[in-house]
Amino acid sequence: MQAMVLYRPGAPLVWTERPDPVPGPGQLRLRVGACGVCRTDLHIVDGELDSPSLPLIPGHEIVGRVDAIGAGVTGYAPGERVGVPWLARTCGVCAYCVQGRENLCDAPLYTGYTRDGGYASAVLVDAAYAFPLGEQGSDAALAPLLCAGLIGWRSLMLAGPGQRLGIYGYGAAGHLIAQVARAQGRLVYAFTRPGDTATQAFARGGGAVWAGGSDEPAPEPLDAAILYAPVGALVPLALRAVRKGGRVVCAGIHMSDIPAFPYRWLWEERSVQSVANLTRRDGREFLAVAHACGIVTHTTTYPLARANEALADLRAGRYDGAAVLVP
Ligand SMILES: [Zn+2]
Ligand SMILES: [Zn+2]
């Protein structure tokens, strides 16, 4: 198999050839068809998340086909198309797992962080944590659903049912969740990097009722705001944009420091909440919703060998929607 491997945070990924991995009990080996590029990958490669299992193959938005089946796996057939998310394994016995909050498991494994991921031509996955994907849609179109869509879905649920929804950072997750929010009858207000008129136009084309820079005030009070941009300075801005009782949901795994702000911006029962990981239930729910509302993924594809370029383009905001690697 071929892979783009992280040997040292801060250094570029390196093209590497390895023997195909052999699936253990309960595992599947997949031939990777596509793997999305997530902002979390950038945080890992840049060393902002500090416990990757090195050397590491990043990537946790994987679409592949079953190529080998480990002992004890039932319900999967050779050639079947499968999706692999960030949550690779949970312990099943900690207080969080027992309460159905496996996204907060005390002893988890994460795909492309503490276990090898999908920047590769082959990957192992625990069958119990994979999602059957069916045959509708291309591999590249489905890949971003596995994290951008899925974490986006969890953040939308945590934002509550309010009608006026602000989205700060209109990238991979933003453009997918805006479609779900619209299908639910909500109004989407898209906030981009100041001056990024191309992404503002992309957001309006995707149905946002308003799009502007994150330094601009919202045109009317919002019921909730979701932050996909990893910029702590947006938290107080978003608090000022939401109405009394409004929620600000921080969807990223890493964010720059949140600057101090007056308590009165939080006052009147506004709240700030983070989103961590996903449960398998989130995955099943979201994939059904994405299918039902005919979600359209805007992708830019790169050959696997150009993963470093895809990451650099994400860092610089050089494409709209989601980047996807194809082996
Ligand atoms: Zn657990
Ligand atoms: Zn992700």
How far, in Å, from the CA of 186 to the mean position of ligand 2?
A: 25
How far, in Å, from the CA of 253 to the mean position of ligand 2?
A: 8
Determine the pLDDT at residue 25.
98
Ligand number with the minimum distance to the CA of 89: 1
303 is written with which tokens?
A: 């050959």
Per-residue pLDDT of the chain (327 residues; tens, 9 = 90+): 999 999 999 999 999 999 999 999 999 999 999 999 999 999 999 999 988 999 999 999 999 999 999 999 999 999 999 999 999 999 999 999 999 999 999 999 999 999 999 999 999 999 999 999 999 999 999 999 999 999 999 999 999 999 999 999 999 999 999 999 999 999 999 999 999 999 999 999 999 999 999 999 999 999 999 999 999 999 999 999 999 999 999 999 999 999 999 999 999 999 999 999 999 999 999 999 999 999 999 999 999 999 999 999 999 999 999 999 999
The contacts of residue 306 (CB under 8 Å, 6+ apart) are 325
Q: 151 and 251 in contact (C-beta within 8 Å)?
A: yes
How far, in Å, from the CA of 103 to the mean position of ligand 1?
A: 8
How far, in Å, from the CA of 276 to the mean position of ligand 1?
A: 14
> What DSSP letter does each residue of 158-224 carry, written as one string?
HT-S-SEEEEES-SHHHHHHHHHHHHTT-EEEEEESTT-HHHHHHHHHTT-SEEEETTSPPSS-EEE
How far, in Å, from the CA of 149 to the mean position of ligand 1?
A: 23
Ligand number with the minimum distance to the CA of 145: 2
297: phi > 0 → left, psi -120 to 50 → alpha, else beta; which?
beta
Determine the pLDDT at residue 50.
86
Ligand number with the minimum distance to the CA of 253: 2
- Gyration radius from the chain CA atoms: 19
How far, in Å, from the CA of 87 to the mean position of ligand 2?
A: 10
How far, in Å, from the CA of 86 to the mean position of ligand 2?
A: 6
The contacts of residue 114 (CB under 8 Å, 6+ apart) are 51, 52, 53, 88, 108
Question: Which amino acid is it at 152?
Answer: G
Ligand number with the minimum distance to the CA of 92: 1
How far, in Å, from the CA of 60 to the mean position of ligand 1?
A: 20
Question: Which amino acid is it at 76?
Answer: Y
Question: Which amino acid is it at 168?
Answer: Y
Burial class (CB in 10 A: 0-12, 13-18, 19+), 221: middle
Ligand number with the minimum distance to the CA of 104: 1
pTM for the model: 0.95
Determine the pLDDT at residue 57.
98
In 3D, which of 133, 114, 105 has the Cα closest to residue 50?
Answer: 114
Ligand number with the minimum distance to the CA of 96: 1
How far, in Å, from the CA of 264 to the mean position of ligand 2?
A: 33
In 3D, which of 195, 247, 188 has the Cα closest to residue 218?
Answer: 188
Determine the pLDDT at residue 268.
98
Question: Which amino acid is it at 273?
Answer: Q
Question: Which amino acid is it at 286?
Answer: F
Q: Which residue has the tokens 């993924």?
A: 297
How far, in Å, from the CA of 24 to the mean position of ligand 1?
A: 21
Ligand number with the minimum distance to the CA of 98: 1
Ligand number with the minimum distance to the CA of 61: 2
How far, in Å, from the CA of 146 to the mean position of ligand 2?
A: 8
How far, in Å, from the CA of 97 to the mean position of ligand 1?
A: 4
How far, in Å, from the CA of 100 to the mean position of ligand 1?
A: 9
How far, in Å, from the CA of 280 to the mean position of ligand 1?
A: 13
Distance CA 165, CA 158 (A): 12
How far, in Å, from the CA of 21 to the mean position of ligand 2?
A: 23
292 is written with which tokens?
A: 């039902």
Question: Which amino acid is it at 104?
Answer: L
For helices 280-292 and 148-158, the axis angle rounded to 10 degrees is 100
